[in-house]
A and B are shown apart, each in its own frame.
Chain A
Amino acid sequence: MFRYVLRRLMLAVPVLLGVSICVFLMASLVPGDPATVLAGDTASAEQVERIRRDLGLDQPIPIQYLRFLERLAHGSLGESTRTHREVLLEIADRFPYTLALALGAVVVSTILGIAMGIFAAVRRGRAADYLTMGIAIVGLSVPTFWIALLGIIVFSLNLHWLPVTGARSPQSYILPIFALSLHSAAVKARITRSSMLEVFGQDYLRTARAKGLRERVVLLRHALKNALIPISTIIGLQFGSLLGGAFIIETIFGWPGIGRLAVQAIFNRDFPLIQGTVLVGAVTYMLANLAVDIVYAWLDPRIRYS
Chain B
Amino acid sequence: MRGSIRVSAIPSAAAVAVGRRPGTLVEFLQRARRSPPFVIGAALFLGVLLMAALAPVIGVQDPIAINIRERLAPPSVRHLFGTDDFGRDVFSRVVWGSQLAVRLGTLSVLVAVSGGIVLGLVAGYYGGWVDQLISRIFDLIFAFPYLLFAIAIVAILGPSLDNLVVALGLFGWAGFGRVIRGSVLSARQREYVEAARAVGARPSRIMARHILPNVVAPVIILSATRFGGALLAGSGLSFIGLGVPIPQPEWGAIMATGRDYMGTAWWVTVFPGALIALAVLGVNLLGDGLRDLLDPRLRDA
A: which residues have CB within 8 A of B? 11-12, 14-16, 18-19, 22, 26, 29-32, 137-138, 140-146, 149-150, 153, 157, 191, 194-195, 198, 230, 233-234, 237, 240-245, 247-248, 251, 259, 262-263, 266, 274, 277-278, 281-282, 285-286
Contact = CB atoms under 8 A, between A and B. Distances in A.
Contacts of B136: 11, 14-15, 18
A28 B149 CA distance: 14
A17 to B, nearest CB: 9
Contacts of A137: 281, 284-285, 288
B281 A285 contact: no
A143 B262 contact: no
A12 B142 CA distance: 12
A263 B151 CA distance: 8
B139 A15 contact: yes
Contacts of A22: 140, 144
Interface in B140-160: 140, 142-149, 151-152, 155-156
A278 B299 contact: no
A86 B64 CA distance: 48
Closest 5 CB pairs of A and B: A244-B147, A243-B145, A141-B280, A282-B143, A141-B281
Interface-central residue, A15, A22, A142, A157, by most chain B CB under 10 Å: A15
19 contacts: A15-B143, A19-B143, A29-B156, A30-B155, A137-B284, A138-B281, A141-B277, A141-B281, A157-B263, A240-B142, A241-B145, A242-B145, A243-B145, A245-B147, A248-B236, A262-B148, A263-B240, A277-B148, A278-B145
Given A248-B236, A266-B152, A19 B299 contact: no
A198 B296 CA distance: 9
Contacts of A138: 277, 281
Interface of B: 136-137, 139-140, 142-149, 151-152, 155-156, 228, 232, 235-236, 239-240, 252, 255, 259, 262-263, 269, 273, 276-278, 280-281, 284-285, 288, 297, 299, 301
Contact of A244 (B140, B146, B235, B281): B146
B263 A244 contact: no
A143 B273 contact: yes
A56 to B, nearest CB: 22
A274 B144 CA distance: 12
A142 B272 CA distance: 11
Nearest to A147: B273
Contacts of A285: 142-143
A294 to B, nearest CB: 17
A233 B179 CA distance: 13
A41 to B, nearest CB: 18
Nearest to B242: A263
Contact of B252 (A11, A143, A233, A259): A143
B252 to A, nearest CB: 7
Contact of A230 (B239, B284, B297, B301): B301
A150 B270 CA distance: 11
B289 to A, nearest CB: 12
Nearest to A247: B147
Contacts of B155: 30-32, 266
A286 B151 contact: no
A186 to B, nearest CB: 9
Contacts of A259: 147
A230 B148 contact: no
Given A142-B277, A146-B273, A18 B140 contact: yes
Chain A CB count within 10 A is highest, among B145, B240, B285, for B145
B282 to A, nearest CB: 9
Contact of B240 (A32, A153, A240, A248): A248
B148 A266 contact: yes
A237 B232 CA distance: 17
A195 B259 contact: no
Nearest to A152: B262
A12 B139 CA distance: 9
A286 B240 contact: no
A39 B236 CA distance: 30
Given A26-B149, A143-B276, 18 more contacts: A22-B140, A30-B156, A140-B228, A141-B276, A142-B273, A142-B277, A143-B239, A143-B252, A144-B232, A145-B236, A145-B239, A146-B273, A230-B301, A243-B145, A244-B148, A248-B239, A248-B240, A282-B144
Given A141-B284, A143-B235, A153 B143 contact: no
Given A15-B136, A143-B232, A278 B144 contact: yes
Contact of A286 (B139, B146, B278): B139
A234 B225 CA distance: 15
Given A137-B281, A194-B299, A244 B269 contact: no
B98 to A, nearest CB: 16
Contacts of A149: 259, 262
B186 to A, nearest CB: 15
Contact of A274 (B140, B148, B156, B277): B148
A50 B128 CA distance: 51
Contact of B299 (A195, A240, A242): A195
